[in-house]
Structure 1
Amino acid sequence: MTAARRPSPTAWALGLSGLIPFVAGAAGMLWPAALPWPVPGGAAAALGAYGAVIVSFLGGIHWGLAMAGAGGPSTLRLAWGVVPSLIAWPALLLPPAWGLAVLAAALVLCFMVDRRSYPALGLAGWLPLRGLLTAVAALSCMAGAALA
């Protein structure tokens, strides 16, 4: 299996559309009456849940890379792949302000790991997209934390 060296236009479109729940969650916390939230805890709960899903997804990418045999021995890649989930799950159990701050930090941490590991795997071309997605997602979580 060969990984795409750069994200396709489809990857860009899907990645950017994946920011909608982050921005909507933060906006819903700023203007709670503007967006009705059908979940207990409203926008903060929705933002936290989506953030935790995405943080877990970022770890899962490393499992996929390990399964594809990218970069040789995969023990560290597999181990790192579960760390984001182990950060995201307890973040959901914290009060919203703290949980969203932890998720913002986890998003940045995931990007830092990817920024270090992707070039060695020939995936440096994905970093501009990853950086943009991380910036908007982390800022949305931090805004949510400030508003909680």
Structure 2
Amino acid sequence: MNTLIRRTAVPRLARHALSRPLVSPLLFLKSRTVASSVSNRPASQTFEHTATNIKEEAGNAASDVAKIIAGSNVTRQDVVTPNNSTFFGITGAIASSVPKPAMVFGLAGTLPYVAASATTVYLAQEAGHAASGLATKIDPGVALTVLDQALNVQMTYGAVMLSFLGAIHWGMEFAGYGGQKGYSRLMLGTAPMLVAWPSLALDPMAALTAQWVGFTALWWADAKATSHGWAPPWYSQYRFYLSVLVGTCIIGSLAGTSYYGPVAGHGFLSHDLELTRELRRELSPESKHKIPGVIEAAPATMASGQPGFVTIKKRDVDAADKKD
């Protein structure tokens, strides 16, 4: 009896051991939504399926971009939880968590910068028209002077903004937000000032370019600081959109001044130099007794046996045309 039990039990155990692992792979293959590596069939069977896959991939990419803008927040315990994982769901949830005073003062702080950028583009256009001899609504000299002032205002205000955004990290360090970080966070707050202050020694075009690099690099540093808990979870996205606004103003000023420049894309200094050089040419001794127009060389009438000469004189264009 014991022998029969053993003989019947062993095959049952063997069949059970062989059949149980087959359940998991079957369930796994059933839950997969990609192509099977065994059948070599494509993941998309129809055009509708392809469109659906493209839409899903685009949505996933957009949500990844939103997470990058938000600083990912991979190490945070107080991360904002969005209603859905789409781009607008993530950005909307984080934007709603930004304190209203910070949003109001942040946007208000960019208004002088936007005004300076718009003034720069307008005056560059007027100065360019004046240099081309076109009728303008403003005196060319006034346009060049105010254009110079607008560029300096934008450059100076940009340096102040860059230094201010860096100093925020000093306040977070003093408040102990996320713990005391010491020299690392203090150096992060000092670095923007080391870019902003020397940029004031450059000409406006070079200064705006340097400040654009500074604003972009500072946002990247703020995103890293947010992901490591050095700043509130909304700070990276808040800084991103303010940086986009400031960067658009800088690029607009550079492009407008280059396109509408007083002398074929050059700045107002080039325009002044060209006027000075033209005036110098007119007053130079070589320009005296200068007769404009077409000239010609004709043989001089000399006595017999005398060396021959030629006479340089202004050509009578009307008489020559009638003769022809």
Same fold (TM over 0.5): yes
**Structure in which a larger fraction of residues adopt helix:** 1
2:150 is the alignment partner of 1:43: yes
TM-score (norm 2): 0.41
Note the residue ranges of structure 2 that are not aligned, 5 or more in a row.
1-79, 81-96, 127-136, 258-266, 268-324
2:118 is the alignment partner of 1:27: yes
Highest CA radius of gyration, 1 or 2?
2
Question: Which of 1, 12, 15 does residue 103 from structure 2 map onto?
Answer: 12
Task: Give the CA RMSD over aligned residues.
Answer: 2.5
The residue type paired with residue 13 of structure 1 is V
**For structure 1, which segment, 46-55 or 15-24, has the greater mean C-alpha deviation from structure 2 after superposition?**
15-24
Deviation at 1:40, TM superposition (A): 9.0
What's the counterpart of residue 104 of structure 1? 212
**Is the CA contact 2:120–2:147 (under 8 Å) kept in the aligned structure 1?**
no
142 and 123 in structure 1: CA distance in 2 versus 1, 3 angstrom threshold: same
**Is the CA contact 1:115–1:124 (under 8 Å) kept in the aligned structure 2?**
no
TM-score (norm 1): 0.85
Between the aligned residues of both structures, percent identity stands at 29
2:183 is the alignment partner of 1:75: yes
Q: What is the aligned residue count? A: 143
What's the counterpart of residue 120 of structure 1? 228
79 and 28 in structure 1: CA distance in 2 versus 1, 3 angstrom threshold: same
Q: Partners in 1 of 2:159 and 2:185 — Cα distance?
A: 20
Deviation at 1:46, TM superposition (A): 0.6
Note the residue ranges of structure 1 that are not aligned, 5 or more in a row.
none
Q: Partners in 1 of 2:253 and 2:200 — Cα distance?
A: 14
Q: Partners in 2 of 1:53 and 1:22 — Cα distance?
A: 11
Instruction: Give per-residue Cα distances to partners, 1:62-109, cap 9 Å, x unaligned.
Output: 111111122333211111211111100111110111100111111111
- More contact order relative to length (CA 8 Å, sep ≥ 6): 1
Deviation at 1:39, TM superposition (A): 7.8
Q: Partners in 1 of 2:209 and 2:168 — Cα distance?
A: 22
What's the counterpart of residue 71 of structure 2? none
2:233 is the alignment partner of 1:142: no
**For structure 1, which segment, 123-132 or 95-104, has the greater mean C-alpha deviation from structure 2 after superposition?**
123-132
